[in-house]
Amino acid sequence: MIARELAVHGDSATSRQVATRALLWYRRRPADEQLSFEERIVAEWSLELMGSRTEAEHAARSLYAEDSMNVDYRGMLAGLAAQRGDSVFTNATDEWLSHQKGDAVSWSASYYRARDAALLGDRADAIARLRQAIDDGAWPMYLHSEPAFNFLLPVPGYLALMAPRA
């Protein structure tokens, strides 16, 4: 998470260094711990922040192959596709995400939809989806530590939307 925060605040060089150290730390952990859901997602995030998108995509595809109905795995793949300009895959995943409902997935599906819209360069859609993610109960930590949302900084109302709630 520190690497993501650094990226959000504009220090991409230090972010890459921290992500590299984090990935090395994860890879030295016992195999059963490396295989946990959380550790594998954080490893993919580290690869993405390091700029190792091919390896990040391989990691995300491996996760997806194990559970193709997992919102996080599909969302990560869609984000990687958006970063390489593959709007067809991203939009198809967005359509799937739009139908994911329920307490366990609704906010994360909305979060990935907002992230993907930002990565594809659609500020208005990203803001609308970010508002939906907040309404769905998204964890503020995920929203505040998402580098893709830096794209929204000049949009009127973005800072107010992201302001801490009383």
Per the structure, the complete domain to which residue 76 belongs is given by 68-151
Number of residues assigned to the chain = 166
In a domain, 102, yes or no: yes
Looking at the structure, do residues 143 and 80 belong to the same domain, yes or no?
A: yes
Judge whether 163 lies within some domain.
no
pLDDT tens over the chain, length 166 residues? 789 989 999 999 999 999 999 999 989 999 998 888 888 888 999 999 999 999 999 999 999 999 999 999 999 999 999 999 999 999 999 999 999 987 777 789 999 999 999 999 999 999 999 999 999 988 888 888 999 999 898 888 888 888 877 6
Identity of residue 103: D
Residue with tokens 């995400």: 97
Whether residue 160 is contained in a domain is answered as no
* 157 domain-assigned: no
| Tokens matching residue 102 | 């329920």
Considering the domain boundaries, does residue 19 fall inside one?
Answer: yes
